């Protein structure tokens, strides 16, 4: 549905030339949600803006639903762009229009009848959960509500494709979750293909089917989310994945490890689960097999595209010989086991 072919974009400034994108190709199948992740300055915004030619690539091709946008006349491109919705980090609502009038705007441009507008706007406001706010102005809405209006407005034009430019970056975590759910519902209910850019692996994990990782304007790695999470190849992919897992040893344990210079006692072990790890009741297994009981200190286990991964920090009890047997056993199950110290 969206195919960016060997896209290069250079910006020529007075004193230098910036290569924002260098030979980037991505292919987003119909009905999928595709995430592009990268750090600040990686080229994400430039890439998504190339997808509807808000930014004209220096070279390469942009196909939407089989049409090469770069070969279209101005009028044809304008028509095609109506099929490509876009939502932004800062919502871009019309402040002088009510919620209803914002959502009605694309339909008015199309010349739809008042009845058709009324029907469609009320359907969409129900869909985004804002039917009761129809007469309010954007200024009185929360960030999440504004983004809901922006999504409803974009859907009013019945797009085939939705481009999301850091759509949740200005929102708190709870609101982010609800907007991501709304995007997923939009994808499922209307079959809309979504291309989104983000700097957060949480967003990719929550709703994307496929992901591309970019850095310095180049594509580093791309594939199914389940594949990238289970077998990340690049250092950058590994870094983004670990940044979405925030498990740290409580200070009290750090102090105790520092004080225990003898290196004996109960080991504190970091168990790391990735897509290759056996999905078994491993903590009770090691208790049964080796007499090693584990006291869970802290843990974060996540799911992405059917893959379970994450980290558990445990204090292992029992004797030293059995600890190393248990550690070897974890390794046979592809569970990372690192001793952080002893308490
Ligand atoms: N209009 C422009 N003129 C000149 N340079 C630009 C322009 N737009 C982007 N760039 C440069 O291109 C590079 C990629 O920028 P881009 O905004 O695409 O990155 P990004 O990954 O979206 O970053 P962020 O997450 O900070 O928005 C940066 O070096 C940026 O300075």
162-212 tens-digit pLDDT:
999 999 999 999 999 999 999 999 999 999 999 999 999 889 989 999 999
Q: How far apart are CA 163 and CA 173, in angstroms?
A: 21
Whether the predicted pLDDT of 305 surpasses 80: no
CB of 236 shorter than 6 A to ligand 1: no
Q: What is the DSSP string of 22-87?
A: EEEEEEE-TT-EEEEE--TTSSHHHHHHHTTTSS--SEEEEEETTEEGGGS-HHHHHHHHTTEEEE
Closest CA to 327 of 275, 273, 271, 280: 271
Ligand 1 atom closest to residue 199's alpha carbon, by position in its atom list: 25
Return the number of other C-beta atoms located less than 10 Å from residue 316's C-beta.
24
Nearest CA residue ID for atom 18, ligand 1: 43
Phi-psi region of 92 (alpha: psi -120 to 50; beta: other; left: phi over 0): left
Nearest CA residue ID for atom 26, ligand 1: 40
CB of 213 shorter than 6 A to ligand 1: no
- CATH code reported for the domain at 2-243: 3.40.50.300
Which residues touch 239 (CB under 8 Å, ≥6 apart)? Answer: none
5 - beta bridge partners? 61
Q: Give this complex's ipTM.
A: 0.97
Which of 43, 51, 200, 219 maximizes ligand 1 atoms within 8 Å of its Cβ, making it the mutation to test the pocket?
A: 43
Nearest CA residue ID for atom 4, ligand 1: 11
- CATH code reported for the domain at 251-342: 3.30.70.260
Q: How far apart are CA 283 and CA 253, in angstroms?
A: 20
Whether the predicted pLDDT of 27 surpasses 90: yes
Whether the predicted pLDDT of 122 surpasses 90: yes
Gyration radius (Cα) of the chain, Å: 25
Whether the predicted pLDDT of 224 surpasses 80: yes
In the chain, domain spans: 2-243, 251-342
Question: Could you tell me if 275 and 307 are in contact, meaning their C-beta atoms sit under 8 angstroms apart?
Answer: yes
* pLDDT on residue 102: 98
Whether the predicted pLDDT of 46 surpasses 90: yes
Ligand 1 centroid to 162 CA: how many Å? 21
Q: What is the mean pLDDT of residues 58-84?
A: 95
Which of 7, 21, 41, 170 maximizes ligand 1 atoms within 8 Å of its Cβ, making it the mutation to test the pocket?
A: 41
What's the pTM value of the predicted model, to 2 decimals? Answer: 0.84
Angle, vertex CA 252, rays to CA 250 and CA 257, nearest 5: 100
């Amino acid at each position: 549905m969206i195919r960016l072919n060997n896209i290069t974009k250079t910006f020529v400034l007075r004193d230098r030339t910036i290569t924002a994108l260098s030979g980037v190709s991505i292919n987003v199948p119909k009905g999928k949600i595709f995430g592009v992740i990268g750090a600040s300055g990686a080229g994400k915004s430039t890439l998504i803006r190339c997808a509807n030619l808000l930014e004209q690539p220096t070279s390469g091709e942009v196909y939407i639903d089989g049409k090469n946008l770069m070969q279209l006349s101005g009028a044809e491109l304008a028509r095609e762009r109506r099929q490509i919705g876009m939502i932004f980090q800062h919502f871009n609502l019309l402040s002088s229009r009510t919620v209803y009038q914002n959502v009605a705007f694309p339909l008015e441009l199309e010349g739809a009848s008042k009845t058709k507008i009324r029907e469609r706007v009320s359907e969409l406001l129900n869909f985004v959960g804002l039917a009761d706010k129809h007469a309010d102005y954007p200024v009185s809405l929360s960030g999440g509500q504004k983004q809901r209006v922006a999504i409803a407005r974009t859907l009013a034009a019945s797009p085939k494709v939705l481009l999301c430019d850091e759509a949740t970056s200005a929102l708190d975590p709870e609101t982010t979750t609800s907007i991501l759910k709304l995007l997923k519902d939009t994808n499922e209910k209307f079959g809309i293909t979504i291309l989104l850019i983000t700097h957060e692996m949480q967003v990719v994990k929550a709703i994307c089917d496929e992901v591309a990782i970019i850095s310095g304007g180049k594509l580093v790695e791309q594939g199914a989310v389940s594949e990238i999470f289970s077998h990340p190849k690049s250092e950058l992919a590994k870094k983004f994945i670990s940044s979405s897992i925030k498990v740290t040893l409580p200070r009290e344990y750090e102090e105790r490890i520092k004080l225990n210079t003898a290196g004996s006692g109960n080991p504190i072990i970091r168990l790391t689960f990735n897509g290759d790890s056996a999905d078994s009741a491993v903590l009770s297994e090691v208790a049964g097999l080796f007499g090693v009981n584990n006291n869970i200190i802290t843990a974060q286990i996540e799911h992405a595209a059917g893959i379970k991964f994450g980290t558990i920090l445990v204090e292992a009890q029992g004797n030293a010989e059995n600890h190393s047997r248990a550690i070897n056993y974890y390794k046979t199950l592809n569970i990372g086991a690192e001793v952080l110290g002893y308490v």
